[in-house]
């Protein structure tokens, strides 16, 4: 993870525009990616990232250099994304009249394409990734966050524990369960596809 | 290696741990574990795929617009500076100076008000002083006149001996104020003083109030139409308000006391007077003999066409 010099952060804290721009340029890509992994919408993730940086700017006066700046920023990011995700989930629930969690609905929602049409390995992986996200749609926020931060973003366990404010052991156990869940779902999906 | 152990090894694959040879041997034999292993490898590859999330060019600009960096005024920056920890001592000092200035300005205003009060009191005192000096002058003049008369009489041989002089002086002083009597002997002081009104004529009036025409220049010695002797008095201490006035011709003289709201309190005099100098005394009593309350009263003096209102303060 890239870290910014504390002097730059202090300047940004004092309202220096250039220093804050450096912060944005350093972290914006990661923030946008995290937002995209939660929201799965390009435009929304950009808007979300902008809102996150505005929140960061307004909350900078509360940052006391007790933790890593990146950890502090990602915590804001993850919390904002979780809130947004939950909100969207509720909205979607009311729009669709139901957002079921049972396996049958899972099967209906996942759009499966014939593997014979995607011979290319890369395309297959892209499809797999999409399937992964679809399988994750009813994960708990912690499970989803753990998978996104560890497997997609490659964060260290310590950092994830700081961001999510969870003990490292809990992070590991939750990640294990989430991976198993994901694997089983994917296995089932792929098995069904093969049967087709 | 059995499937259970193989599962454990596969769980560690996510953390980039290389499996042992036994695991691969097991995979060759176990189709289920093999499929699972392949799936995990695919998943790991899928995790690493990056989406094409090109950041828009106006990304930063939009953030700054929303924050309002462009619109931040100088006043706002000063306000922010005030709440920063830097130069805390200097800021505190500036604040203290600011409040001190406010306090001093308030104090100056108070001093100014006090000064105005003092000047008003000084002016009043000066007025009183001038009145006192004027009265003193009048007293001196009168004493000189009396001395002059006595000397003249002695010269003219009208006074044969000491007895006669004493008799004369007593008859003279029947018309003179107690005002002058202080400077005279005890016989003069006995000259019947009454609380209401007494003629202040210096003429030797033998039987009535008619002033001697030969002494008319004496009237001219009093320059003012009237003189107030004591306009602040305490009736409980037997102090009295004294008004000396001059009548040039045969005129009607009215002296009335009114309270502050214009109600009549007492009428001291309302009669026609012969030319001369008279004195009117008010002992601070109403018409029914009751002592008035402390406060400001107005003495209305009317001598023919001339009239004047004099403020009197009764204290207790």
Contact between chains at B72 and A15 (C-beta distance less than 8 A): yes
Return the axis-axis angle of helices B31-48 and B21-29, rounded to nearest 10°.
Answer: 120
Contact between chains at B63 and A183 (C-beta distance less than 8 A): no
- This prediction has a pTM of 0.48
Token couple for B313: 């303060």
Do A23 and A113 share a domain, yes or no? no
Contact between chains at A45 and B59 (C-beta distance less than 8 A): no
Q: Is B43 on the interface with A (CB under 8 A)?
A: yes
Instruction: Specify the DSSP class assigned to residue A151.
Output: I
Q: Is A44 on the interface with B (CB under 8 A)?
A: no
Cβ burial, residue A112 (10 Å; 0-12/13-18/19+): middle
The domain total for chain A is: 2
Do A76 and A105 share a domain, yes or no? no
Nearest CB to A42 within list B14, B53, B66: B53
Do A161 and A121 share a domain, yes or no? yes
Do A163 and A177 share a domain, yes or no? yes
Do A73 and A109 share a domain, yes or no? no
Instruction: Put the strands of the sheet holding B241-247 in their side by side order.
Output: B197-199, B276-282, B241-247, B226-228
Nearest CB to A33 within list B53, B69, B80: B53
Nearest CB to A179 within list B14, B62, B84: B14
Do A72 and A121 share a domain, yes or no? no
Contact between chains at A15 and B77 (C-beta distance less than 8 A): yes
With CA atoms as reference, the chain A residue closest to B70 would be A17
Of A97, A112, A130, which residue is a domain's last?
A: A97
Segments forming the whole domain that contains residue A186: 100-196
Judging contacts by C-beta atoms under 8 Å, the chain A residues touching residue B59 are 24, 28, 46, 49-50
Of A63, A97, A131, which residue is a domain's last?
A: A97
Gap between the Cα atoms of A143 and A73, Å rounded: 20
Of A51, A78, A97, which residue is a domain's last?
A: A97
pLDDT in 10s for each residue of chain B, 316 residues: 788 888 888 888 888 788 888 888 888 888 888 888 888 888 888 888 887 788 888 888 888 888 877 555 566 667 767 676 667 788 888 889 999 999 888 877 777 777 778 888 888 888 888 889 888 888 888 888 888 888 887 877 654 555 554 554 444 444 444 444 444 444 444 444 444 444 443 433 333 444 433 344 455 567 788 888 888 889 888 888 888 888 888 888 999 999 888 889 999 888 888 888 888 899 898 888 888 999 999 999 998 888 888 989 998 8
Do A1 and A59 share a domain, yes or no? yes
Do A70 and A126 share a domain, yes or no? no
Do A107 and A91 share a domain, yes or no? no
Gap between the Cα atoms of A185 and A175, Å rounded: 15
Indicate which CATH number applies to the domain containing A84.
Answer: 1.10.1740.10
Q: Looking at domain B129-314, which of 1.10.3470.10, 3.30.70.1230, 2.60.40.4070, 2.30.110.10 is its CATH number? A: 2.60.40.4070
Whether B242 and B228 have beta carbons less than 8 Å apart is answered as yes
Judging contacts by C-beta atoms under 8 Å, the chain A residues touching residue B44 are 151
Do A105 and A39 share a domain, yes or no? no
Q: Is A107 on the interface with B (CB under 8 A)?
A: no
Nearest CB to B60 within list A21, A42, A183: A21
Do A107 and A92 share a domain, yes or no? no
């Amino acid at each position: 993870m890239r870290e910014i010099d504390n002097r730059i952060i202090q300047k940004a804290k004092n309202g220096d525009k250039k220093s804050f721009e450096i912060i944005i340029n350093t972290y914006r890509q990661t923030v946008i990616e995290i937002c995209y992994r939660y929201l799965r919408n390009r435009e929304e993730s950009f808007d979300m990232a902008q809102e996150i940086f505005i929140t960061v700017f307004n909350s900078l006066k509360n940052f006391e250099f007790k933790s890593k700046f990146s950890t502090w920023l990602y915590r804001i990011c993850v919390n904002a994304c979780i809130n947004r995700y939950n909100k969207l989930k509720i909205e979607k629930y009311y729009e669709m009249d139901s957002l079921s969690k049972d396996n049958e609905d899972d099967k209906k929602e996942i759009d499966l394409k014939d593997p014979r049409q995607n011979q290319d390995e890369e395309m297959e992986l892209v499809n797999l990734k999409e399937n992964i996200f679809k399988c994750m749609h009813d994960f708990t926020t912690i499970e989803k966050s753990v998978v996104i931060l560890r497997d997609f973003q490659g964060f260290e366990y310590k950092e994830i524990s700081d961001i999510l404010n969870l003990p490292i052991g809990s992070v590991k156990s939750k990640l294990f369960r989430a991976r198993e869940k994901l694997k089983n779902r994917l296995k089932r999906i792929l098995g069904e596809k093969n049967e087709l | 290696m059995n499937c259970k152990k193989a599962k454990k090894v596969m769980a560690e694959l996510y953390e980039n741990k290389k499996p042992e040879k036994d695991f691969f041997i097991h995979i060759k034999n176990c189709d289920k574990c093999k499929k699972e292993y392949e799936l995990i490898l695919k998943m790991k590859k899928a995790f690493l795929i990056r989406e094409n999330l090109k950041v828009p060019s106006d990304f930063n600009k939009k953030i700054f617009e929303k924050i309002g960096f462009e619109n931040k005024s100088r006043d706002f920056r000063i306000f922010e500076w005030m709440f920063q920890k830097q130069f805390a001592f200097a800021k505190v000092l500036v604040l203290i100076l600011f409040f001190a200035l406010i306090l001093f300005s308030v104090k100056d205003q108070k001093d100014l008000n006090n000064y105005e009060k003092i000047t008003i009191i000084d002016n009043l005192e000066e007025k009183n002083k001038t009145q006192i000096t004027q009265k003193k002058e009048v007293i001196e003049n009168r004493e000189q006149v009396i001395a002059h008369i006595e000397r003249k009489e002695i010269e003219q041989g009208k006074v044969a001996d000491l007895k006669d002089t004493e008799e004369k002086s007593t008859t003279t002083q029947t018309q003179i104020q107690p005002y002058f009597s202080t400077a005279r002997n005890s016989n003069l002081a006995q000259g019947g003083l009454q609380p209401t009104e007494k003629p202040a004529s210096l003429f030797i009036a033998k039987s009535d109030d008619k002033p001697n025409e030969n002494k008319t220049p004496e009237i001219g010695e009093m320059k003012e139409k009237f003189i107030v002797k004591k306009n602040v008095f305490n009736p409980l201490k037997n102090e009295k308000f004294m008004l000396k006035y001059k009548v040039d011709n045969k005129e009607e003289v009215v002296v009335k006391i009114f309270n502050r709201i214009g109600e009549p309190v007492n009428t001291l005099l309302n009669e026609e007077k012969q030319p001369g100098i008279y004195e009117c005394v008010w002992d601070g009593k109403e018409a029914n003999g009751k002592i008035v309350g402390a406060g400001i009263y107005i003495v209305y003096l009317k001598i023919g066409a001339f009239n004047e209102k004099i403020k009197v303060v009764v204290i207790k």
